[in-house]
């Protein structure tokens, strides 16, 4: 599969993959803007509120029924923060025209056109009603509160607040809730206007339609968005040394959770990036990683122990669910396995398996067009390899010594421990 990028306007791009490999086509519309602590809640509330009512689809049921008519097209909002960058937009998946009913096909039923029309309603003609905003504010606050329902997710968020506290767009749960409560429809309209007018705009399409057809439909349905955008430079992330923080909390759970955050000091744009990527693979990705084999298999301390590397900010997160009395042993083993890599104790089999796993992911991307979209966007925003082939070649050339160097550069930043303190007798009725 080949991804081609077209410039529609200054700061308005279309990433396009033409293929008949899949039965469904994909379309995303993404606004890219610098993360801003003050706009956290507005970014989260804007599109969910917009989807509740538009000039044409006067309530959410009407929009959903229209999607049903479009052969169960699925339109959803997205809002994510990634190392100082905020991505807000809409995502759609729809059946290709080849697979709709013959009657509809012969009458020229246009699924993509219909989906784009619905998406343009959401972005350009939302009603942004007070009632709808109040409903979405409540949903937003409830979602934050519900993080306690999953102690691992809760622990991950707490670790993130500690490790990334200086990063734009990272705010505490309480601050996010307060912001949401203060948001009104006028603020939402101003935010919407600002985003639509100024934020960089990226379209992504994968399906059987040609780039020319997709561009024509974009001009037809989104002409109001196709103005030149004021290109705001993304400020780099603040550098700081590892803080070696430790936070201990407790909750009424049966299991305890140990989360550890490390600073690798290496991001996408660094030449050591490939070594850091492999270091994380060997350390904690998958069922033959050092963490899995030692913390789980050898010591039976947990059901799962693994690591994740965010290449946009260099943070490596390790997490596991354990008995509280095993905390010291688990924490020591997690650090011990990192030392093993620092000391170059990497077998040929481990290195080969790690490379093969990444090579396999590269090949699998052919079956997952969203991987192409993500890759293209990451390269534009954060630098690094421009193509999947370039990435694969970079991985292939990494040596054990480079991996050990990457591990030596990695420092523990923070430990978060959520102790489970559940009394059995208050559990059940």
Partner 1 sequence: MNERTTVEKVSSARLREFYWDIRHKSGLRIFVFPKKFSTFYAVLGTRFGAVDRVFEDEKGKNIILPAGTAHFLEHKMFENADGTNSDERFAALGADDNAYTSYSTTRYLFSTTENFSECLAELMRFVMRPYFTKKSVKKEQGIIAQEIRMGDDSPWTCGTENMLRGLFSKSGLRDPICGSESSISEITDKILYRAHEAFYTPDNMALSVCGDVSCDEVVAIVDRELDGISAKTAARSVFEDEPNGVQSEKTVKHMNISRPLFFFGFKDDISGLSEAEKTKRRAAMSLLNNMLFSSSGAFYNRLVSEKLISPSFAFGYTMSRGAAYNSFSAESDRPEYVCELIRDELQRAAKEGLSKDDFERCRRVATAGYIRLFDSSEEIADDVMMNSWFSNCEPFDTPNVINGLTLEYCAQLLSEVFLDERSTVSLVKPFSEKGNE
Binding residues (CB under 8 A) for partner 1: these are 21-24, 59-61, 64-65, 67-69, 71-72, 93, 95, 98-99, 101, 131, 135, 138-139, 142-143, 145-151, 251-255, 286-288, 296-297, 300-303, 321-323, 349, 352-353, 356-357, 359-360, 363-367, 420, 422, 426-429
The answer to whether residues 369 and 1 touch, using CB atoms and an 8 Å cutoff, is: yes
In angstroms, the CA 179 to CA 161 distance is 17
Give least dist CB 300 to partner 1, A: 3
Of 113, 125, 105, nearest to 217 by C-alpha is 113
Give least dist CB 386 to partner 1, A: 21
Nearer to partner 1, 150 or 212 (CB): 150
Nearer to partner 1, 33 or 302 (CB): 302
DSSP per-residue string spanning 11-56: TEEEEEEE-SS-SEEEEEEEEEEE--GGGHHHHHHHHHHHHH-BSS
In angstroms, the CA 204 to CA 26 distance is 8
Give least dist CB 24 to partner 1, A: 5
Nearer to partner 1, 101 or 248 (CB): 101
DSSP per-residue string spanning 44-110: HHHHHHHHH-BSSS-SHHHHHHHHHHTTS-EEEEEEEEETTEEEEEEEEEEE-GGGS-HHHHHTT--
Give least dist CB 63 to partner 1, A: 9
Nearer to partner 1, 84 or 306 (CB): 306
Nearer to partner 1, 122 or 315 (CB): 122
Give least dist CB 153 to partner 1, A: 11
Give least dist CB 381 to partner 1, A: 26
C-alpha separations of 32 from 164, 171, 274 in Å:
20, 19, 26
DSSP H or E stretch at residue 7: strand 3-9
Give least dist CB 45 to partner 1, A: 13
C-alpha separations of 283 from 168, 195, 260 in Å:
28, 40, 13
Nearer to partner 1, 168 or 321 (CB): 321
Nearer to partner 1, 251 or 265 (CB): 251
């Amino acid at each position: 599969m080949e991804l081609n990028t077209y410039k529609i306007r200054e700061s308005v791009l279309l990433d396009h993959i033409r293929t008949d490999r899949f039965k469904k086509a994909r379309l995303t519309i993404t606004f890219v803007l610098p993360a801003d602590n003050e706009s956290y809640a507005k970014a989260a509330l804007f599109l969910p509120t917009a989807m509740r009512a538009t000039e044409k689809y006067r309530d959410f049921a009407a929009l959903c029924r229209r999607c049903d008519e479009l052969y169960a097209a699925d339109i959803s909002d997205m809002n994510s923060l990634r190392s100082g960058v905020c991505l807000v937009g809409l995502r759609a998946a729809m059946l290709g025209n080849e697979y709709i009913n013959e009657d509809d096909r012969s009458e020229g039923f246009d699924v993509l056109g219909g989906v784009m029309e619905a998406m343009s309603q959401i972005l350009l003609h939302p009603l942004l009603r007070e009632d709808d905003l109040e409903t979405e504010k409540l949903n937003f606050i409830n979602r934050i509160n519900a993080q306690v329902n999953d102690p691992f997710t809760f622990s991950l968020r707490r670790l993130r607040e500690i490790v990334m506290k200086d990063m734009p767009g990272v705010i505490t749960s309480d601050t996010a809730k307060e912001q949401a409560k203060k948001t009104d429809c006028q603020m939402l309209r101003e935010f919407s206007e600002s985003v639509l007018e100024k934020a960089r705009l990226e379209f992504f399409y994968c399906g059987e339609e040609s780039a020319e057809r997709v561009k024509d439909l974009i001009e037809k349905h989104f002409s109001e968005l196709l103005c030149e955008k004021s290109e705001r430079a993304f400020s780099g992330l603040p550098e700081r040394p590892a803080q070696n923080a430790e936070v201990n909390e407790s909750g009424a759970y049966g299991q305890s959770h140990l989360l550890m955050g490390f600073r690798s000091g290496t991001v996408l744009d660094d030449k050591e990036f490939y070594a850091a990527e492999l270091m994380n693979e060997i350390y904690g990705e998958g069922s033959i990683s050092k963490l899995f084999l030692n913390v789980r298999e050898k010591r039976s301390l947990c059901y799962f122990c693994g690591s994740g590397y965010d290449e946009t900010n260099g943070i490596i997160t390790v997490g596991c669910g354990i008995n509280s009395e095993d905390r010291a042993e688990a924490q020591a083993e997690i650090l011990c396995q990192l030392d093993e890599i620092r000391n170059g104790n990497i077998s040929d089999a481990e290195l080969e398996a790690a490379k093969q796993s990444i090579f396999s992911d590269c090949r699998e991307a052919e079956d997952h067009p969203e991987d192409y979209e993500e890759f293209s966007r990451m390269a534009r925003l954060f630098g690094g390899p421009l193509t999947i082939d370039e990435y694969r070649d970079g991985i292939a050339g990494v040596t054990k010594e480079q991996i050990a160097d990457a591990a030596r550069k990695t420092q523990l930043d923070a430990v978060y421990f959520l102790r489970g303190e559940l009394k059995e007798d208050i559990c059940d009725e």
